[in-house]
């Protein structure tokens, strides 16, 4: 599909990948010192350790967007993550700040499972039945900028995995039903935790594959979409972990299935899971169901604790950002992929993001 962001200029300088990593890190540190506060590098929790170590801020997508927008002196923001994160940073950053993505090919297959034309079709199903006025569209942060813009234009809001419950409460204070996209699992897990029934809306089927009555009475319509990195985890992985480490504390990300969430001791966002590990006493044992790079880093940084993965699951798109394309971006900004969004996408996408930010999170 066509990404909503426009990328400018191909990257002209390409560092050979056989160049010594330590040398690239050294060059990067020099360049960062030269730029000073003008340059801010953001590293998502799912990035490789060497990237996170070079970043000025690490965090989840929302924390990083906020960090970027709050840097008075920053002129150049480089977001090491996937496209929807970089687009969100573009929307929330100040107009004079330039936002770059070290690898424009790093997208998110789950975000691609919904797009504005497909969701508009679902919205027409609601309109034809006079239900759109009482429906609040809610989009996960993990979505294209133009889908955030559609959501903003139609009175809707963005959520992340750390604030989805509060966002659902906000939506139910304003409407009778939610249509949530693109991750069925996050939507279902949040609805379950609130004791609200949810139904799958499959965009490939007429009326989402629902009967007329089901569609009209649904409280939460869940877009049929998923993150393969998180649906990889099963309850068998959890059973194995509990057998191997009887004192283990199992944590899973809410993009996992409801069965995995039900069998875990804790479900939470990346930052919430990082905090749990940081606050635990020495000797504590964790088995975590999320992207492997974050788990490896937690194990490395908390060597006095036992941090394991439930099963190895890597996000290949997050992995597309590496030391070499980060270095190429910093040393050749003129030709690096800068994210530029159309004005209406910026304006309406910001509406949906600002509604989320206005909730006291």
Q: Whose CA is closest to 111, among 263, 254, 1, 233?
A: 1
Question: Least distance to ligand SF4 from the beta carbon of 44, Å?
Answer: 9
Question: Least distance to ligand SF4 from the beta carbon of 339, Å?
Answer: 16
Question: Least distance to ligand CIZ from the beta carbon of 142, Å?
Answer: 6
Burial class, 277, CB count within 10 angstroms (exposed 0-12 / middle 13-18 / buried 19+)? buried
The residue nearest ligand CIZ at its CB is 60
Binding stretches for ligand SF4 (CB under 6 A): 46, 82, 108-110, 142, 227, 229, 291, 315, 317-318
* CB-based contacts of 126, cutoff 8 Å, min separation 6: 132, 135, 179
Q: How far apart are CA 256 and CA 108, in angstroms?
A: 16
* CB-based contacts of 119, cutoff 8 Å, min separation 6: 137, 147, 150, 179, 181, 203, 223
Residues in a beta bridge with 306? 285
Question: Least distance to ligand CIZ from the beta carbon of 216, Å?
Answer: 32
Binding stretches for ligand CIZ (CB under 6 A): 44, 60-61, 141-142, 160-161, 253, 269-271
317 binds, among ligand CIZ, ligand SF4, none (CB under 5 to 8 A by kind): ligand SF4
141 binds, among ligand SF4, ligand CIZ, none (CB under 5 to 8 A by kind): ligand CIZ
User: Considering beta carbons, is residue 218 or 261 the nearer one to ligand CIZ?
Assistant: 261
Which regions of the chain does DSSP assign to beta strands (E)?
Answer: 6-8, 39-44, 57-59, 76-80, 98-100, 135-140, 157-159, 177-181, 198-201, 220-223, 249-252, 266-267, 285-289, 306-309, 338-340
Q: Cis before residue 240, ω within 30 degrees of 0?
A: no
82 binds, among ligand CIZ, ligand SF4, none (CB under 5 to 8 A by kind): ligand SF4
269 binds, among ligand CIZ, ligand SF4, none (CB under 5 to 8 A by kind): ligand CIZ
109 binds, among ligand SF4, ligand CIZ, none (CB under 5 to 8 A by kind): ligand SF4
User: Considering beta carbons, is residue 3 or 289 the nearer one to ligand CIZ?
Assistant: 289
Taking a C-beta distance cutoff of 8 angstroms, is the pair 190, 182 a contact? Answer: no
Q: How far apart are CA 300 and CA 361, in angstroms?
A: 30
318 binds, among ligand CIZ, ligand SF4, none (CB under 5 to 8 A by kind): ligand SF4
Question: Least distance to ligand CIZ from the beta carbon of 296, Å?
Answer: 17
Q: How far apart are CA 257 and CA 184, in angstroms?
A: 9
Question: Least distance to ligand CIZ from the beta carbon of 272, Å?
Answer: 8
User: Considering beta carbons, is residue 109 or 209 the nearer one to ligand SF4?
Assistant: 109
61 binds, among ligand SF4, ligand CIZ, none (CB under 5 to 8 A by kind): ligand CIZ
Q: How far apart are CA 171 and CA 304, in angstroms?
A: 42
């Amino acid at each position: 599909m066509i990404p909503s962001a426009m990328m400018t200029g191909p990257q002209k300088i390409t560092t050979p990948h056989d160049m010594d990593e330590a040398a690239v890190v050294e060059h990067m540190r020099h360049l960062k010192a030269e730029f000073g506060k003008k340059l801010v590098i953001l590293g998502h929790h799912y990035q490789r350790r060497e990237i996170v170590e070079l970043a000025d801020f690490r965090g989840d997508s929302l924390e990083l967007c906020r960090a970027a927008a709050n840097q008075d002196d920053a002129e150049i923001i480089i977001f090491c993550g996937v496209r929807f994160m970089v687009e969100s940073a573009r929307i929330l950053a100040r107009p004079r700040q330039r936002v770059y993505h070290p690898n424009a090919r790093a997208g998110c297959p789950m975000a691609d499972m919904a797009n504005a034309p497909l969701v508009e079709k679902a919205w027409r199903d609601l309109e034809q039945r006079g239900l759109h006025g009482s429906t609040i569209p809610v989009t996960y942060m993990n979505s294209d900028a133009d889908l955030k813009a559609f959501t903003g234009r139609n009175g809707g809001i963005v959520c992340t995995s750390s604030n989805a419950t509060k966002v659902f409460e906000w939506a139910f204070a304003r409407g009778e039903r939610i249509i949530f996209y693109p991750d069925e699992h996050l939507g279902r897990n949040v609805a379950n935790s609130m004791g609200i029934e949810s139904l799958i809306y499959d965009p490939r089927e007429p009326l989402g594959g629902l009967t007329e009555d089901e569609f009209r009475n649904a409280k939460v319509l869940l877009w049929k979409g998923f993150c393969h990195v998180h649906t990889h985890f099963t309850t068998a992985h959890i059973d194995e972990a509990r057998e191997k480490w009887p004192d283990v504390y199992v944590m899973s990300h809410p993009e996992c299935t409801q069965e995995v969430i039900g069998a875990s001791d804790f479900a939470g966002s990346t930052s919430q899971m990082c905090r749990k590990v940081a606050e635990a006493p020495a000797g504590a044992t964790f088995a975590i169901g999320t992207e492997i790079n974050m788990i490896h880093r937690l194990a490395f940084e908390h060597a006095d604790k036992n941090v394991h993965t439930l099963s190895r699951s890597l996000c290949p798109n997050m992995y597309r950002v590496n030391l070499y394309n980060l270095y190429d971006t910093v040393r050749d900004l003129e030709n690096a992929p800068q994210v530029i969004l159309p004005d209406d996408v910026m304006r309406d996408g910001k509406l949906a993001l600002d509604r989320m930010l206005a909730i006291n999170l």
